[in-house]
Chain A
Amino acid sequence: MTTINVNGQAYEVAVEPETPLLWILRDTLGLTGTKYGCGIAQCGACTVLVDGQAIRSCQMPVDSVGSADIRTIEAIERDEIGRKVVEAWVQEQVPQCGYCQSGQVMAATALLKQNPHPTDSDIADAMTNLCRCGTYNRVASAIHQAAG
């Protein structure tokens, strides 16, 4: 039995220790807002916050999570910066198919927590999540807007 802390709540999960956090979130806890895209930490659809840092959960074994504070897209509007990011996403009408956007919103929230006023180059460095609909420019505009 492993205990993890997700969105402020402790959960006990009975899984193999190497199970990626992604699959515990999705299939064990039913938190399906975090997406599976590639499974090899290339696309970023599975991005969550672990102690405030953007982490690709498909490559994070559950036994390495420990007592870290995990935040998923389901709790994004409970976070002050996350709420601003979501509002900016709506304002800029960022999503198209939307599948990558949970990860984009989480990555943007992590960026703004560390760097409240990122430059274009900061955004380029931090926001490496893939979007097949090509919403990259709107993602960048929305981050600037959320930064105020």
Chain B
Amino acid sequence: MNALIKIDAAAAAPLLRQQGITNLSRRQLLGLGAGALLLGGLLSTGKASAQPTPVAVKPGTRVPAFLVIGPDNSFKLLSPFVEGGQGINTGTAQIVGEELDVNPARFEVECAPPGADYAVVGGMRMTGGSFSTRSSYELMRRLGATARDMLIRAAAARLNVPASTLTTDDGHVVDAGSLRIPYGALAAEALALTPADDVKLRDPATFRYIRKPVARLDVRAKSTGRAEYAIDQKVEGMLYAAVQHAPVLGTEPVRLINESVARGMPGVHDVHLLPGAVAVTADSWYRARQAVEALQVSWSAPPASGFDAVAADYSSSAILTALKSSSVAGERAEAVGDTKASFAGAAKIIEADYEAPYLVHGQLEPPSSIARFNADGALEMWTPNQMPELFQSIAAKLAGLTPEKVILHSPILGGFFGRHFAYGQSNPFQQAILLAKATGRPVKVLWSREEEFKMDAVRPLSFSRFRGAVGKDGMPVAIQVRTVGEGPLGRWFGAAASGGAVDSSAVEGIVEKPYDIPNRSMEYVKFVHPVTIAFWRSVGHSMNDFFYEAFFDEMADAGNKDPFELRRTLLANKPRHLKLLETVGTLSGGWKRGPFDVGGTKRARGVSMASPFGSETATIAEVSIERGEVRVHDLWIAFDPGSIVNPAIVKSQVESAAALGLSAALFEELAYEKGKRLSHNYDDYPILARDAMPRVHVEIVESGAPMGGVGEPGLPGIAPAVVNAVAALTGRHIRALPLAKAKFGA
């Protein structure tokens, strides 16, 4: 049996290090401006490659790598990013189109193949971390402007006139008279020219597309079933494969008890053992699934107990207990002032343990992957992914090829939220390669929803212990937090990328809060989960801002302060945050905590703030209790990403992040018992449906601060705003999500 390539820090980090990016924390990634992108990037030569290092490419600069201008004046944009709902294809077309002088509506955008040109996120390539627009904005503008300049020069040379007499108009080079040459007629000559490295960018005051609510390029295709996802791909002669994974992660198939039964079922081609799974290949996926699920498999035994692997007695309650009872000394994550003395002199001390469960991504498109070995020995793959070069390098290693011999297609994603990074056994593409090798045919592996629930990499179950000291005047004087757990950044990219001993993806949202609490002491203890953990929309912020902002309201209550007013006081020296807080107050019709009466029912409001991914949010939620459960009526969100590209898409993203944040706050929990996951599909893992969707009111504030992220930041403020509203209504501070676990009197 072939082993899968283990993708852990050891596999991923060399890809980063090879280009000299060491010690690259998220913060550092964020801080790298476009000007710093001189690195060769995450080149397609992985560690396994024997190829000489290619000539260094300055990512984002070679026009032909990004733009294909057809003779019919059609425009195809090869994007460094993959579209998964966040609107990046439209946004990138707006940015390039603005400077190229082509209406973005004319662009066809697809995710570019692997290549050094596309390493535009701090010298590497990924679609994640809400990095896409902010990391590539300047670069993509410059690319568009550079291309336009080349087209003008090509026309000038052809006409033998000075370039200064020419200008452009929506895909044409024009002069002062009636001359009008389509870009498409000039492209070949233009691309042969040496690009200028000092082109002038457009004055933002004259923008036609950037900062405008340009319609998404993909809505019609997505409203008529024409958009093609990985699951919709088909290649000539392919077999369909369905799999059954081990019930306990880490165990292996030992014996097939009834192999002949599966072999005898209609359409079955073959039965296969895979690492941690069994598979059936057949002439249709439905037949493959029927057969693989008929297979009775004897699996190896997991360890009896412990946390080094998923054990026979592993449970989410056991690991939570272990996190809570850890007595290991923590690494310092933040330390300001004298916390010890402040607690000694405090008028009041409060303590609280906060926890959040494992979560699945639950994207509607189940993972699939096609692998095909071509006649020339190349491996061609269609696979959902957020890091093409990393997937390419893993595929190459598994197939025993150089990365150049792996052709990778990255179709649009039917939702991702962090699902399609490389997570070891949690992606199907390695199975597709092994099965294509075994059968000598192209193979499409598709995981049933149940297999996806078994294998999805999860948002880590998380725990933090809070202590707060309140002075005689009711003001918080000190806060102390101990976080025990593990973040995905350290797991998948190593300590060097995640910020050293303190994994930034485990403590973000607890450290560097804007409030002027003079004494702060935050510590982090790494406790490795035996399960596959993941990036999940807004990552550490997804639980940590809930922890911190909910505890903030506990401190406010302890000091008899209104939580909105207390935030205002503690943000007196933070004009950006203060403005956002006041904006959300106004947006909601003026702050009122309640409880107050609406149509005979009591309601209340809660407020929260978060600083995720270089952006800022302030959120207010209004709730009531209906039939013992929390009902959210309205969410008001003031959102400051510094500056924006498309206000309509930004608004959609904030709405979407709010919905997912609310889904997690109200309903979601993936629990383990006896080594197995207790959820199998949407019937026993409820996600937000229409009946629980509140009104969402979004106001965008452009403070002019450096551009922040958009896709994720709307999420973290939701759970604390809701929980704080529930506290205002019921007097109960809920410290464990989801709220569905707490029952309230009617």
Contacts and interface: CB of A to CB of B under 8 A. Distances in A.
Nearest to A101: B222
A32 B232 contact: yes
Contacts of B656: 96, 133-135
Contact of B85 (A28, A96, A130): A96
A74 interface: yes
Contacts of A97: 84-85, 363-365, 412-416
Contacts of A100: 364
Contacts of A133: 85, 415, 656, 659-660
Contacts of A40: 449, 681-683
Contact of A130 (B224, B286, B682): B682
Interface string B217-251: 01111111111110110100000100000000000
Interface string A92-122: 0111111111100100000000000000000
A90 B220 contact: yes
Classify the secondary structure of A's interface with B. Answer: loop
A8 interface: no
A50 interface: no
Contacts of A137: 655, 693, 695-696
Interface in B381-416: 412-416
Contact of A27 (B240, B663, B682): B240
B87 interface: yes
A50 to B, nearest CB: 17
Nearest to A85: B223
A124 B221 CA distance: 25
B364 A105 contact: no
A76 interface: yes
Given A27-B240, A100-B364, A137-B695, A93 B648 contact: yes
Contacts of B229: 99
B652 interface: yes
B690 interface: yes
A23 B284 contact: yes
B691 interface: yes
The residue among A105, A130, A138 with the most chain B CB atoms within 10 A of its own CB is A130
Given A97-B414, A99-B229, A27 B286 contact: yes
B689 interface: yes
Sorting the interface of chain B by its residue count into under 10, 10 to 19, 20 to 34 or 35 or more gives 35 or more
Contact of B224 (A20, A86, A123): A86
A19 interface: yes
Contacts of A35: 231, 364-365, 414
A54 interface: no
A124 B659 contact: no
A93 B216 CA distance: 7
Nearest to A97: B85
B655 A128 contact: no
Interface in A9-38: 15-16, 19-20, 23, 26-28, 30, 32-38
Contacts of B85: 95-98, 133
Nearest to B227: A98
A37 B364 contact: yes
A42 B681 contact: yes
Contacts of A45: 364
A74 B225 contact: yes
B493 interface: no
A101 B223 contact: yes
B724 to A, nearest CB: 21
Contacts of B415: 97, 99, 132-133
A77 B224 CA distance: 8
B18 to A, nearest CB: 33
30 contacts: A15-B284, A16-B287, A20-B286, A27-B284, A30-B234, A33-B226, A36-B231, A36-B446, A38-B681, A38-B682, A39-B681, A73-B225, A76-B224, A95-B85, A96-B85, A96-B87, A96-B652, A96-B653, A97-B85, A99-B415, A101-B223, A127-B690, A132-B362, A132-B364, A132-B415, A132-B417, A133-B85, A134-B655, A137-B693, A138-B652
Given A32-B234, A95-B218, 19 more contacts: A33-B226, A35-B231, A36-B366, A37-B364, A38-B681, A45-B364, A77-B224, A89-B219, A95-B223, A98-B85, A98-B412, A99-B364, A101-B223, A105-B223, A132-B415, A132-B660, A133-B415, A134-B693, A139-B690
